[in-house]
């Protein structure tokens, strides 16, 4: 049994297929016409600015995005809990100092 599928934006879909790309979408029964219809998703990446590195820390980094200040720290497990807690405090202090330096540089 043959079924015909109605394709929305068939020319654009054909261009993507000829470029060797996969086309994701939805296949559904149209309520108005009663035909099986394929509608391709409009998958476009949104341009965004990359985060700006404020300072590289010994166990992580401090970065600035448009809306947030980000602090990352990663410590090896084999150092033990007490040492990691000390390193975490040092990392936090270094991150705070980096933010102070950033404010001073931007202020001048």
CB 84: neighbour CB atoms within 10 A? Answer: 17
Confidence of residue 30 (pLDDT cuts 50, 70, 90): confident
In this structure, what token pair is assigned to residue 36? 């099986």
The whole-number average pLDDT for the span 44-62 is: 92
% of the chain surpassing 70 pLDDT: 100
| Cβ–Cβ < 8 Å for 105, 93 | no
Given a cut of 80, whether residue 108 has pLDDT beyond it is no
Threshold 0.85, pTM exceeds: no
Confidence of residue 33 (pLDDT cuts 50, 70, 90): confident
The enclosing H or E element of 57 equals: strand 52-57
Confidence of residue 94 (pLDDT cuts 50, 70, 90): very high
SS3 call for 102: helix
Confidence of residue 43 (pLDDT cuts 50, 70, 90): confident
| Cβ–Cβ < 8 Å for 7, 17 | no
- Sign of the Cα torsion 45, 15, 5, 22 reads negative
């Amino acid at each position: 049994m043959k079924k015909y599928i109605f394709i929305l934006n068939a020319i654009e879909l054909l261009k993507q297929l000829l470029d060797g790309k996969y086309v994701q979408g939805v296949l559904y029964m149209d309520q108005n016409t009663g035909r099986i219809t394929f509608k391709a998703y409009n998958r476009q990446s949104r341009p965004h600015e990359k985060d700006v590195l404020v300072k590289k820390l010994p166990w992580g980094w401090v970065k600035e995005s448009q809306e947030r200040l980000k602090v990352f720290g990663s410590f090896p497990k084999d150092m033990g809990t007490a040492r990691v807690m000390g390193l975490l405090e040092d990392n936090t202090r270094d991150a705070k100092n980096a933010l102070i330096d950033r404010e001073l540089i931007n202020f001048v």
